[in-house]
């Protein structure tokens, strides 16, 4: 069933998700993005620059969070704008010796922030947190709904 603007109201939750991250995910993302900064894979280096440990790429976190919206709307091309501010890094523990164990978990909740019938769009506000702390703020995706 297709989502229509009439189905939406401000404050309505569109869904929630938990995203398990491992250091292997970070290595795969580094290969895909070309971002091989050692803060994303080398514990000693990350701590040497005053981080709490290896951290997820900001764009990886941002992209993972918007997946909730694309799954809900059913068409990634419907997302016509997406922006956020990065507030905290996502520290990813080394769980290599514990297969299947997440090194970090990102929690995402999506809520309709605004419905704009004149432009056939809805703004979806995302709350994105890890370890009980918001890691993205003002995470907002605008989707076109026909």
- Whichever domain contains 109, its CATH number is 3.10.129.10
pLDDT tens column, 48-73:
999 999 999 999 999 999 999 999 99
Predicted pLDDT at 99: 87
> Band of the pLDDT at 131, cuts 50, 70, 90?
very high
pTM: 0.94
Total number of domains in the chain: 1
**Mean pLDDT computed over 26-32:** 96
Backbone angles phi, psi at 11, to 5 degrees: 95, -10
Predicted pLDDT at 146: 85
> d(Cα 144, Cα 133) in Å, to the nearest integer?
30
Task: State percent of the chain over pLDDT 90.
Answer: 95
Q: Which of 143, 141, 107, 108 is nearest to 125 (CA)?
A: 141
Residue 1 pLDDT exceeds 80: no
Provide the domain limits for residue 82. Answer: 5-144
pLDDT tens column, 85-96:
999 999 999 998
């Amino acid at each position: 069933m297709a989502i229509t603007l009439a189905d939406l109201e401000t404050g309505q939750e569109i869904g929630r998700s938990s995203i398990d991250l491992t250091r292997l995910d970070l290595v795969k993302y580094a290969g895909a993005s070309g971002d091989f900064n050692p803060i994303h894979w080398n514990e000693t280096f990350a701590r040497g620059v005053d981080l709490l440990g290896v951290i997820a790429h900001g764009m990886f976190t941002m992209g993972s969070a918007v997946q909730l919206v694309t799954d809900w709307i059913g068409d990634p091309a419907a997302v016509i704008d997406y922006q956020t501010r990065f507030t905290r890094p996502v520290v990813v523990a080394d769980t290599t010796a514990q297969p299947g164990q997440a090194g970090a978990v990102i929690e995402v909740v999506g809520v309709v922030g605004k419905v704009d019938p004149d432009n056939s769009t809805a703004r979806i506000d995302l709350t994105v947190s890890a370890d009980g702390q918001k890691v993205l703020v003002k995470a907002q995706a605008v989707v076109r709904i026909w």
